[in-house]
């Protein structure tokens, strides 16, 4: 539907988005390592580190030779694997554009925890939707969806440059493309249960991100850009004192 390119929100509480950059770096490094590995090794990693609902819900058993981490750990580890370059690039672009401001609003450590919790929530809903699925879920989309939902609640009125239909760059208030994207995830979850994309993971991440940002953001950080100064607000601030002075 759209590709985010840049936003107009400056960092207020942190100087550098260390966690966002670190998450992007880790995902890229893991993907680069996968490109150098044999297909058998990549498949082994996908099965051992990916989230497999049938295994989690005891509908199937993973071959012991494929086990890399405890089953419960795959609620997190799946989010650091990607199918191909475009899968990785799209997720990391969303994280780069929106992650820094969510990290700014939450703080470094809380943002890291927030990211992992959104990933886990995405896996949980994916498993709930298809508990007998034996295909491994991989990709950071659940976590990224949580970041997008948090950004939507924090900065709906700021200007975001997006690439529409892969060719038209447009500056839009953030709530327009993000609301359309969020609605699309819920609609596709209802109508495309058997597709290759895990809409359940997206929706799980969205719900978790929207709820978590309410309680994890820094004290005093407003929602919905309430601290954003608009021309109308400036006019009110300039006009009211002048009227009061005239009445005196």
* Cα separation, 202 vs 182, whole angstroms: 9
Which residue range forms the structural domain that includes residue 59? 2-247
The tens place of each residue's pLDDT in the chain, 248 residues long, gives: 678 999 988 999 999 999 999 999 999 999 999 999 999 999 999 999 999 999 999 999 999 999 999 999 999 999 999 999 999 999 999 999 999 999 999 999 999 999 999 999 999 999 999 999 999 999 999 999 999 999 999 999 999 999 987 788 889 999 999 999 999 999 999 887 677 789 999 999 999 999 999 999 999 999 998 876 544 444 444 444 444 433 33
pLDDT number for residue 225:
87
The pTM of this model reads: 0.89
Quickly count helices (H) and strands (E) in the chain. Answer: 10, 3
CATH number of the domain within which 184 lies: 1.20.1540.10
CA distance linking residue 147 with residue 206, whole number of Å: 8
β-bridge mates for residue 164, sequence order: 2, 168
So what's the pLDDT on residue 138? 97
Q: What is the pLDDT of residue 247?
A: 36
Give the long-range contacts of residues 54-58, CB within 8 A, separation 24 or more.
Answer: 54/131, 54/132, 54/133, 54/134, 55/134, 56/127, 57/127, 57/131, 57/132
Position 219 scores a pLDDT of 93
Domain count, the chain: 1
Report which of 72, 110, 117, 84 is spatially closest to residue 219, judged by C-alpha positions. Answer: 110
């Amino acid at each position: 539907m759209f590709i985010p390119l840049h936003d107009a929100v400056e960092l207020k509480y942190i100087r550098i988005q260390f966690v966002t950059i670190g998450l992007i770096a880790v995902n890229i490094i893991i993907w680069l390592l996968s490109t150098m590995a044999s297909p058998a090794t990549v498949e082994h990693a996908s099965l051992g580190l990916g989230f497999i609902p049938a295994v989690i819900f005891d509908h199937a058993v993973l071959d012991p030779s494929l086990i890399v981490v405890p089953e419960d750990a795959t609620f997190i580890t799946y989010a650091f694997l990607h199918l191909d370059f475009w899968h990785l690039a799209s997720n990391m672009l969303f994280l780069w554009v929106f992650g820094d401001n969510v990290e700014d609003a939450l703080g470094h450590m809380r943002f890291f925890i927030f990211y992992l919790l959104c990933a886990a929530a995405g896996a949980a809903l994916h498993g709930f939707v298809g508990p007998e699925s034996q295909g491994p879920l991989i990709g950071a989309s659940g976590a990224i969806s949580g970041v997008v939902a948090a950004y939507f609640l924090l900065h709906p009125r700021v200007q975001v440059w997006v690439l529409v239909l892969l060719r038209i760059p447009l500056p839009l208030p953030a709530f327009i493309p993000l609301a359309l994207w969020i609605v699309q995830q819920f609609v596709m979850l209802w109508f495309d249960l058997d597709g290759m994309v895990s809409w359940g993971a997206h929706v799980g991440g969205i719900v978790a991100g929207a709820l978590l940002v309410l309680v994890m953001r820094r004290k005093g950080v407003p929602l919905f850009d309430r601290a954003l100064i608009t021309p109308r607000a400036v006019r009110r601030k300039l006009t009211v004192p002048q009227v009061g002075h005239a009445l005196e």
